[in-house]
Amino acid sequence: MLLIPCPHCGPRNQEEFAYERTLDSVVRLNDAPELAIATLYARANPRGQEHEIWSHTCGQWLRLTRDRISHAIHSVEPL
Amino acid sequence: MGAGRYNALALLRGAITGHRHWGRAWRAAEPRGPYDVIIIGGGGHGLSTAYYLAKVHGIRRVAVVEKGYIGGGNTGRNTTIVRSNYRQAPLQSLFEYSLKLWHGLSDELNYNVMFSPRGALFLGHSDADMARLAERGDAMIANGLDADLIGRDEVARLVPLLDMSPGARWPIEGGLIQRRGGTARHDAVAWGFARAADSLGVDIIENCEVTGFLREGNRVTGVRTTRGDIAAGRTGICVAGNSGHVAGLAGIKLPIESHTLQAWVTEPVKPMIDTVVMSQTLHCYFSQSDKGGMVGGGDPDFFPSYAQRGAPIRLEDSIAQSIALAPALSRLRMVRSWAGVTDMSFDGSPIIGELPLDGLYLNGGWCYGGFKATPGSGSVYAHLLATGQSHPLAAPFYLNRFADGRTIDEVGSGPMPQSR
């Protein structure tokens, strides 16, 4: 189980959080179609560290740097 | 090569000689390239691909390289359910092709994969569920598949364990059953394909992890492994769970994320259920193995992970749902739970086709439903690796369908693997 430190509420149970997408997969409104498609669909999916966007039930959006093998959370910042 | 044909006479002979004559089921092959085809990944799909390459296409200079041991990955971690009851035609056709192969597989491989077409039942818990199941059933029948929409009484007769009382946590209105679906012994599937492929000359190289690709310009000419470089004409990735990682070694990003899926098994008991019971509304599924254990599972863990271990909350969900449906399960002790890494593609359907590098192909993205496709997936992938052309059944599952807007999205949830 993950214990995720919400910047607003402090450490909370994983159950209260939802993974959204990777930080590099947010499509900008004025992106060219090729870039938008790559952003939507291409993932590095690394066996290791990745930057991710999560949300907390309190409404806070988080930027999580997390290891996808050890599940260690290296940093959490408000987004 | 191999241990000869398995038959009743050999069993009888063993009864007299103490069963000491059984040899290895497949050789411990050393790399000895160049090969016509290298398949990365010795799971069920990779081994069946090798088998059909040798058997159907006559290509016998084939190697399967596996980072661990045969049967140690997702092939031995799934809940062994086999069915083809999809709603969309491309998925129906691919999985039905596979289901037909399942029905003759033990004879084909001379290996008892314990395929048991005991019926795969989707439960409906509401009027809306029944309408949805009816639509799916109609779509299946229209494409020549078998589907029976059954009422509450028929469900109760088929699965007396289900809670049909007025106070049931999840009321059951009926269901959709595919009677030709069922289960198979998953290890036996890997072992059977490994033995059959080996007997046709395929080299199965275990403890051999791919660490990179050999390249000549834009062409892949083989693989770098922990046991040295191996050259090949064509290289096929078949490592579902780790597709993103292996494609990444070639600098390719895929519309795939790796997520964790858990399963559980109880102590073995006498036969208590002879159908595969699934609820897509709740998302749990359970069946009884031939050994007697109740095997079940539920949702994936909803976030990317390669860890092969999951969180207790998801395990609790699927067990709570299963117990609510069949209260007798609460009397059993759970003996094991485990997790596998699923290749969650961004439309929920597999990806079978060429990659942007010449000579490099992909079969992956099976999400949490790859086991049932094992023979069919291998057959169509063998066609691709032998001819360089997609098998007609695999053609809709090409990689660029995402850019072309031709996604095959059964549940319509878009590029959000955690929402499936």
Quick one: B265 and B310 in the same domain?
yes
Q: Closest Cα partner for B377 from B398, B415, B350?
A: B350
Give the pLDDT band (50/70/90) at residue B148.
very high
Rounded Cα–Cα distance for residues B236 and B239 (Å):
9
Looking up residue B144, the CATH number of its domain turns out to be 3.30.9.10
Q: Say whether residue B235 is in contact with chain A using an 8 A CB cutoff.
A: no
Whether residue B231 is contained in a domain is answered as yes
* Secondary structure (DSSP) of B341-409: EEEEETTSS-EEEE-SSBTEEEEE--BT--GGGHHHHHHHHHHHHHHSS--TTTGGG-TTHHHHT----
| pLDDT tens per residue across span B215-265 | 999 999 999 999 999 999 999 999 999 999 999 999 999 999 999 999 999
Whether residue B308 is contained in a domain is answered as yes
| List of chain B residues whose C-beta atoms are within 8 Å of the C-beta of residue A19 | 302-304, 418
CA distance B219 to chain A (A): 21
Whether residue B9 is contained in a domain is answered as no
Q: What is the mean pLDDT of chain B?
A: 96
| List of chain A residues whose C-beta atoms are within 8 Å of the C-beta of residue B304 | 19, 45, 50, 52, 68
Quick one: B189 and B338 in the same domain?
no
Work out whether strand B203-205 and strand B62-65 pair parallel, antiparallel, or are unpaired: parallel
Q: What are φ and ψ of residue B358, in 5° steps?
A: -65, 140
B95: pLDDT strictly greater than 80: yes
Residue contact B244–A43, C-beta within 8 A: yes
Q: Say whether residue B316 is in contact with chain A using an 8 A CB cutoff.
A: no
Quick one: B140 and B279 in the same domain?
yes
Q: Say whether residue B244 is in contact with chain A using an 8 A CB cutoff.
A: yes
Rounded Cα–Cα distance for residues B95 and B89 (Å):
10
B88: pLDDT strictly greater than 70: yes
- DSSP H helical ranges for B290-330: 312-325
Looking at chain A, the whole-number percentage of residues with pLDDT higher than 70 is 100
| List of chain B residues whose C-beta atoms are within 8 Å of the C-beta of residue A23 | none
Q: A1 Cβ partners below 8 Å, 6+ apart?
A: A13, A14, B311, B312, B313
Whether residue B152 is contained in a domain is answered as yes
Q: What is the pTM of this model?
A: 0.96
Neighbouring CB atoms inside 10 A of B380's CB total 26
pLDDT of residue B218: 97
pLDDT of residue B265: 98
Quick one: B335 and B363 in the same domain?
no
Work out whether strand B81-82 and strand B62-65 pair parallel, antiparallel, or are unpaired: unpaired
| pLDDT tens per residue across span B27-47 | 999 999 899 999 999 999 999
- Domain containing B158 equals 120-183+261-344
When divided into structural domains, chain B yields a total of: 2
Q: Say whether residue B256 is in contact with chain A using an 8 A CB cutoff.
A: yes
Whether residue B5 is contained in a domain is answered as no
Going from the N-terminus, what domains does chain A have, and what CATH number goes with each? Answer: 3-26+38-78 (3.30.2270.10)
B3: pLDDT strictly greater than 90: no
Token readout for B197 is 């492929």
Whether residue B12 is contained in a domain is answered as no
CA angle (B334, B155, B118) in 5-degree steps: 65
Residue contact A40–B415, C-beta within 8 A: yes
* H or E, element range at B214: strand B210-216
Give the pLDDT band (50/70/90) at residue B2.
very low
Nearest to B244 among A21, A45, A70 (CB): A45
Whether residue B17 is contained in a domain is answered as no
Q: Which residue of A has its CA nearest to B311?
A: A1
Nearest to A42 among B242, B255, B313 (CB): B255
Q: B275 Cβ partners below 8 Å, 6+ apart?
A: B118, B119, B120, B121, B158, B159, B177, B287
Q: How many helices (H) and strands (E) does chain A have?
A: 1, 6
Quick one: B106 and B189 in the same domain?
yes
**Mutate which: B259, B306, B355, B404, vs A, most A CBs within 10 A:** B306
Quick one: B63 and B193 in the same domain?
yes
Neighbouring CB atoms inside 10 A of A32's CB total 9
Give the CA radius of gyration of chain B: 21
pLDDT of residue B1: 41
Give the pLDDT band (50/70/90) at residue B414.
confident
pLDDT of residue B398: 98
Work out whether strand B81-82 and strand B182-183 pair parallel, antiparallel, or are unpaired: antiparallel
Report the sign of the C-alpha dihedral through residues B372, B373, B374, B375, in that order.
positive
Q: Say whether residue B142 is in contact with chain A using an 8 A CB cutoff.
A: no
**Mutate which: B243, B257, B313, B343, vs A, most A CBs within 10 A:** B257
Looking up residue B239, the CATH number of its domain turns out to be 3.50.50.60
Q: Give the end of a domain, one of B315, B344, B373.
A: B344
| List of chain B residues whose C-beta atoms are within 8 Å of the C-beta of residue A52 | 303-304
Q: Give the end of a domain, one of B326, B344, B362.
A: B344
Q: What ipTM does this complex have?
A: 0.96
